[in-house]
Structure 1
Amino acid sequence: MKTNLLKSVALFAMVITMISFTANPIKKKTLDTKQSKIEWEGEKLTGSHEGTIMFKEGYLNMDGDKITGGEFIVDMSSIIATDLEGEYKQKLEGHLKSDDFFGTANHPTAKLVIKNAIKKGNDYGVIADLTIKGITKPVTFDLDMNADTATTELTIDRTEYDVKYGSGSLFDNLGDNVIYDDFELDITLKF
């Protein structure tokens, strides 16, 4: 009798556990790549440039209304300058795609993988791995999540990803050709 009671309790606990895991399954929120965007700004001693980069694909893992992970692939060959026109626009875009900067022929994508997201109101504190030019480094940022839109701002030190061209911290005697190491990303994700 005692053995049957223990078996019944164990079976009941197992059924409750299975129900709790299937009641709130992890769901993927797929990125709308046409509506999502990355706006970038890079500064140099004599001014700045700005533009956009498009997403190739991405998703958030959701447990109910909480982010539990995610992965985003960026199409680095889509990088454009929005502050220039004509010949200068083409030259800058070509230079950004060259090995001096992002080397898109050998590294056509960049990737962000969310490792942990801690909810703080509508915001999340996010710990992620960012891969650019095959180099992966941890990054942290706040992500604002409202319904089917998430936004964040990131500052990236390009030299950590072997993007060294014109870096005043790595090269001497650049004069007014210095390009600052940090670049700014303003990211809007639509789902």
Structure 2
Amino acid sequence: MRNLKSIALALVALVTFTTTAQTKKINVSKSTINWTGKKVTGEHTGTINLKEGNLVFKKGLVKGGTFTVDMTSINTTDLKGEWKDKLDGHLKADDFFGVEKFKTATLVFKNISTKNKNNYTVTADLTIKGITKPVTFDLVVNGTTASANVKIDRTKYDIKYGSGSFFSDLGDKTINDEFELKVNLAW
């Protein structure tokens, strides 16, 4: 009888474990976000720090996620000295990300389609400068890591500086509307 009780408890624990959601807290010190912004005459690259985040799994599949990015950490990596300081300052200014007022950006998963066990298409609400718009991207999970390339149209978040979609006669000073984030997460 005692053996039967132990087996029953083990089965209940197994069923509970496989049907309940598990939240994996992202290790922000081991995770990276690299950005690339392009213009007519080239591109700039840099990093930005994840403040906090988590992925939610159920039965081994991604079922949710929330992330907060520290916008004050915008850092240019392809320049040095005065030019780096100028670009970092401009990206933090009101005509770009306005980080004095909007210190964070958030991403909240809303819809997740499973391509296969490790590959997903995610539609999420991205909030930048207090403006929330949907973005769609692919997410690849590999063990205790995940990666995604996310393309963002900055003009949807009222970041129009140097945009050929809003200003004419910019010539070689035109900046692409889209920028890309290469995200690598670890937990």
State the TM-score, normalizing by the size of structure 2: 0.89
1:136 aligned to 121, 125, 132, which one?
A: 132
Aligned pairs for 1:1-191 (under 5 A) are 24-121=19-116, 122-191=118-187
- Supply the distance in 1 between the matched residues of 2:65 and 2:175 (Cα, whole angstroms): 32
- Supply the distance in 2 between the matched residues of 1:123 and 1:87 (Cα, whole angstroms): 42
Q: Output one character per residue of 1:22-80: Cα deviation in whole Å (capped at 9) or x when no partner.
A: 65321110001011111111111111100000100000111131111110000011010
2:7 maps to which residue? none
**Which consecutive unaligned segments of at least 5 residues does structure 2 have?**
1-11
What is the RMSD of the two structures over their aligned residues, measured on CA atoms?
1.9
Asked whether the equivalents of residues 18 and 59 of structure 2 are also in contact (C-alpha less than 8 Å), the reply is no
Residues 180 and 36 (structure 1 numbering): CA distance in 2 closer, same or farther, change over 3 Å? Answer: same
* AA aligned opposite 1:141: F
Deviation at 1:20, TM superposition (A): 5.2
- Supply the distance in 2 between the matched residues of 1:49 and 1:67 (Cα, whole angstroms): 32
Deviation at 1:127, TM superposition (A): 1.4
* Identity rate, percent: 53
Structure 1 stretches of 4+ with a deviation exceeding 2 A read: 19-24
Asked whether the equivalents of residues 69 and 104 of structure 2 are also in contact (C-alpha less than 8 Å), the reply is yes
1:10 maps to which residue? none
**Which consecutive unaligned segments of at least 5 residues does structure 1 have?**
1-16
Deviation at 1:150, TM superposition (A): 0.4
State the TM-score, normalizing by the size of structure 1: 0.87
- Supply the distance in 2 between the matched residues of 1:115 and 1:41 (Cα, whole angstroms): 25
